[in-house]
Chains A and B, each alone.
Chain A
Amino acid sequence: MTQADLSPASQARPRPQLPPTNALIGGFIVGTIVLVALIGAVWTPYDPLKLDFTSRFQSPGAEHWLGADEFGRDVLSRLMTGASTSVWISILTVTFAVLVGTTIGVVAGFLRGWTDRVLMAVNNAMLAFPGLLLALGLLAVVGANQYGIVLALGVAYSPSVARIVRGTVLSLREREFIESSRVLGNSELYTMFRHVLPNCIAPISVLATSMFGWVILAESALSFLGLGVPPPAPTWGNMLASARPFMDQAAFLSIFPGICISIALLGINLLGDAVRDRFDPRMRGMRGSH
């Protein structure tokens, strides 16, 4: 939102078709993080796992731009690797949750009857748990590691997708164009994929965008608790956890990973607001109001 947007005159004029400011800033931040994650996957200034006891707790400077940790490992390199881990985990988790949730939602909404009742009963029971709590319980089952997190968070978040997709399918199947497709002799399956699913994309993408934020946050929280990606592999969360005992010696160790998580979340939140303003009909007309 620039200052010029705020004057009544500029609001009266038809807006130029630029994306809203929050989308631009959010998109820029998310783009940067994905870029860093891609670079971090193939190249880092130092080996993120290499111990070097001569540079323990070295403050940020020419040699180590963001300093070195309690084992003398380069913080910048570890943050970059952590970015790729976080991005990779969130892509896998959101994909998993969307695929599982959409399948359940479509099946429940399309078949209705007992299938719907049973599926939604299970779904509601899962929604009765706060997300992170369910993930903690599931982690106890699947084990605390990278793929355990994907599975636990994916299962924990898929009920929200299922609920939204089912609602959309139920309201869609009463509409004329679905009826027309059937009358034309198209099979249920064809109608489903050709006409129903494409109309679920808008609500799913609104949810999926904010889900990226939930996953980044949950993943770093779980790693912080020692239930996520196990050390020595760096993630933003477990870097914060291992920095905690050295707070008075090397405060910067507790600062940089936190900045990374916060900036990532800020970017996703801004982008999420923009996506919601764009797709959520209830919010339409309030565009640019954030």
Chain B
Amino acid sequence: MLRFVFARVGMAVPTLLLVSIAVFVLVRMIPGDPAQLLLGDLADPDSLADMRQRMGLDKSVFQQFVIWFGNLLTGDLGSSITTGQDVTALVSSRFLISAQVVLAAVLFAALVAVPAGIIAAWRQNGVTDLFLIGTATLLVSIPTFWLGLLMLLLFGVKLSWLPVVGYVPFSQDAMGAVLYLLMPIATLFLHEIGILIRMSRASTLEVLRLDYVTHARAKGLSERAVLTRHVFRNSFGPTWTLIGLVLGNLLGGIAVVETVFTIPGLGRLLVDSIYQRDYPVIQGCLLFVAVTYVLVNLAVDLLYPLFDPKVTAE
């Protein structure tokens, strides 16, 4: 067990290092001189050279990376070119906003979709199955930003039940926060149940064909006991892994939902800083999401043996 944990954590470390190199290289490839961006087009050559020296741009790329990486390890990601804010503080405050939406959506989606997928597989090719798999396939095919727009149109504009735009932090006004976040969470929820039902159904179908399920039934166990005790426990693994991937993908793609509902989250910050070519912030956002993605998948893998003890035996 311990060997499994060390092996898996050991795999994540080089990945994290490569991810930070990738982010560094990517942002260095953005055309334009960062010093020029900072000072504007009218800067004279002397102050430009001065600024380049202060930013460490006159050093070799490798030296720059070492300095940047050293700062990164102490949590220093520099400051924003446009607003001068500390990138680490800015990115992490925006990250919390996005994370609460994503986590709530995935949690509710898993609670609904996993049982739904099992039932669909249990009733394979029956009316219930066709309905569930049909709904799921339809839901996966609707892009989140359009689903969000439709909700906004229905509940915000036509019925005026929910606020159309805006956001208040949970700490200031809990009730208000729930009202503002209801539609974004529901949007992601509907999209994710589509993905998770399909996965849960597919992995349940594979288990249902195995001999021990027939054996459990022959023993006289109730269908309920067969499904919960034998089928669920052996078929949940792939869905669990997918939940980790979905979390990361949602963080990567949340910009569109944040744009629809004007939520000041991480995705919106990234898109805005791409517009403004605010490269320290772009760097911070990319790094934050990618590192979270790696860590979430690490956590998912470490918890995997709870559902499938075979994994640690390797």
Point out residues on A near B: beta carbons under 8 Å.
Answer: 1, 5-6, 121-122, 124-126, 128-134, 136-141, 143-144, 217, 220-221, 224-227, 240-241, 243-244, 247-248, 251, 254-255, 257-258, 261-263, 265-266, 269-270, 273, 286, 289-290
Complex Cα distance, B15 from A125, in Å, reads 6
Distance in Å from the Cβ of A5 to the closest Cβ of chain B? Answer: 8
How many chain B residues touch the partner (CB < 8 A)?
Answer: 52
B61 CB–A CB distance under 8 Å: no
Distance in Å from the Cβ of A174 to the closest Cβ of chain B? Answer: 20
Closest to B258 in A: A225
B contacts with A: majority SS: helix
Closest to B283 in A: A137
Contact B149 A244 (CB under 8 A): yes
B51 CB–A CB distance under 8 Å: no
Complex Cα distance, B191 from A217, in Å, reads 13
Residues on the B chain within 8 Å of A257, using CB: 146
Distance in Å from the Cβ of B95 to the closest Cβ of chain A? Answer: 13
Contact B252 A265 (CB under 8 A): no
- Other than the given A131-B249, A221-B253, A251-B157, 15 more pairs (CB < 8 A) read A1-B130, A129-B290, A130-B289, A133-B289, A133-B290, A136-B274, A137-B26, A220-B143, A224-B259, A240-B145, A251-B153, A254-B146, A257-B146, A265-B140, A265-B143
B89 CB–A CB distance under 8 Å: no
Residues on the A chain within 8 Å of B124, using CB: 289
Complex Cα distance, B259 from A244, in Å, reads 10
Contact A6 B125 (CB under 8 A): yes
Complex Cα distance, B123 from A206, in Å, reads 27
Contact with A along B3-34 (1 / 0, CB 8 A): 00000000000110011011100110111000
Point out residues on B near A: beta carbons under 8 Å.
Answer: 14-15, 18-19, 21-23, 26-27, 29-31, 124-126, 130, 133, 137-138, 140-143, 145-146, 149-150, 152-153, 157, 205, 248-249, 251-253, 255-256, 259-260, 270-271, 274-275, 277, 279, 282, 286, 289-290, 293-294
Evaluate whether A269 and B271 lie within 8 angstroms (CB atoms) in the complex, with A1-B130, A6-B125 already known: no
Complex Cα distance, B143 from A225, in Å, reads 13
Contact B290 A128 (CB under 8 A): yes
Residues on the A chain within 8 Å of B150, using CB: 254-255, 258
Contact A290 B133 (CB under 8 A): yes
Contact A270 B137 (CB under 8 A): yes
Distance in Å from the Cβ of B55 to the closest Cβ of chain A? Answer: 19
Contact B125 A137 (CB under 8 A): no
Contact B149 A126 (CB under 8 A): no
Distance in Å from the Cβ of A216 to the closest Cβ of chain B? Answer: 9
Evaluate whether A141 and B293 lie within 8 angstroms (CB atoms) in the complex, with A125-B19, A130-B253, A289-B125 already known: no
User: Please, could you name 26 A-B residue pairs with CB atoms under 8 Å apart, sorted by A?
Assistant: A121-B14, A124-B15, A126-B22, A128-B290, A129-B286, A130-B252, A132-B249, A133-B270, A137-B23, A139-B274, A140-B277, A141-B30, A220-B143, A225-B256, A225-B259, A240-B145, A243-B149, A244-B149, A251-B157, A254-B146, A258-B143, A258-B146, A258-B150, A262-B143, A263-B141, A265-B143
Evaluate whether A254 and B149 lie within 8 angstroms (CB atoms) in the complex, with A244-B260, A269-B140 already known: yes
Partner of B274, one of A1, A140, A217, A240: A140
A contacts with B: majority SS: helix
Closest to A273 in B: B137
Complex Cα distance, B18 from A7, in Å, reads 54
Contact B251 A262 (CB under 8 A): no
Contact A130 B251 (CB under 8 A): yes
Evaluate whether A254 and B153 lie within 8 angstroms (CB atoms) in the complex, with A125-B18, A125-B21, A217-B143 already known: yes
B253, B260, B275, B279, most chain A CB atoms within 10 A: B253
Complex Cα distance, B133 from A1, in Å, reads 12
Contact B286 A289 (CB under 8 A): no
Closest to A266 in B: B141
Contact A247 B153 (CB under 8 A): yes
Complex Cα distance, B19 from A133, in Å, reads 13
Residues on the B chain within 8 Å of A286, using CB: 205
Complex Cα distance, B289 from A134, in Å, reads 10
Distance in Å from the Cβ of B93 to the closest Cβ of chain A? Answer: 19
Residues on the B chain within 8 Å of A290, using CB: 133
Distance in Å from the Cβ of A220 to the closest Cβ of chain B? Answer: 6
Contact A261 B143 (CB under 8 A): yes
Residues on the A chain within 8 Å of B29, using CB: 141
Distance in Å from the Cβ of B133 to the closest Cβ of chain A? Answer: 6
